[in-house]
């Protein structure tokens, strides 16, 4: 197996972890808000989470393809593979990450998810800023 294909598979794993961070992060923030977990108020975690979903939402609004997807496909081509005719790892992770829906479905779902992240920003407030009201 070529180093390009290994790099493409590794990038796909990073992409899956990126998706996991966004989705599980929101679930953990909401759960942590209900259960009083202080770590979900960490401003570094919360800013990173907000930034990541903001990038996803803006990409969908502007019709841009995720750079991770572009880089993965370029690596696969350099490795002599056709896109998505790939290894076991990329096949299964790809099936979890990529769907064949109209663009408006992604725009709507990413926007709604982003709105939930923003709602949690005010519901489960991060700590560390003296100017913000105390956490509920």
- Indicate the domain borders of the chain: 3-123
Instruction: Answer positive or negative: Cα dihedral of 21, 26, 29, 30.
Output: negative
Which pLDDT value is given to residue 88? 47
Residue with tokens 């779902």: 109
Work out the number of other CB atoms within 10 angstroms of the CB of residue 39. 8
For residue range 68-103, list pLDDT tens digits in order. Answer: 988 988 998 898 877 655 544 556 666 666 667 787
The Cα 73–Cα 59 span in angstroms is: 18
Give percent of the chain with pLDDT exceeding 90.
50
Instruction: Answer positive or negative: Cα dihedral of 16, 19, 25, 31.
Output: negative
The Cα 116–Cα 113 span in angstroms is: 5
Name residues of the chain where pLDDT drops below 50.
87-88, 133-134, 136
Are 49 and 21 in contact, with CB atoms under 8 Å apart? Answer: yes
Give percent of the chain with pLDDT exceeding 70.
82
Residue with tokens 């019709």: 63
Residues 6 or more apart whose CB falls under 8 angstroms from that of 17 comprise none
Which pLDDT value is given to residue 92? 62
Which pLDDT value is given to residue 111? 93
Which pLDDT value is given to residue 12? 87
Q: Look up the pTM and report it.
A: 0.72
């Amino acid at each position: 197996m070529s180093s390009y294909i290994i790099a493409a598979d590794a990038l796909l794993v990073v992409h899956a972890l990126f998706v996991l961070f966004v989705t599980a992060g929101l679930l953990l923030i909401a759960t942590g808000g209900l259960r009083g977990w202080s770590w979900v108020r960490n401003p570094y975690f919360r800013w990173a989470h907000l930034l990541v979903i903001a990038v996803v939402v803006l990409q969908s609004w502007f019709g841009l393809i995720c750079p991770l997807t572009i880089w993965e496909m370029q690596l696969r081509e350099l490795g002599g593979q056709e896109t998505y005719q790939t290894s076991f790892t990329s096949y299964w992770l790809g099936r979890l990450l990529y769907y064949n829906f109209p663009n408006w479905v992604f725009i709507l779902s990413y926007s709604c998810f982003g709105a939930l992240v923003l709602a949690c920003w005010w519901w489960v407030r991060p700590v560390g800023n003296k100017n913000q009201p105390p956490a509920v």
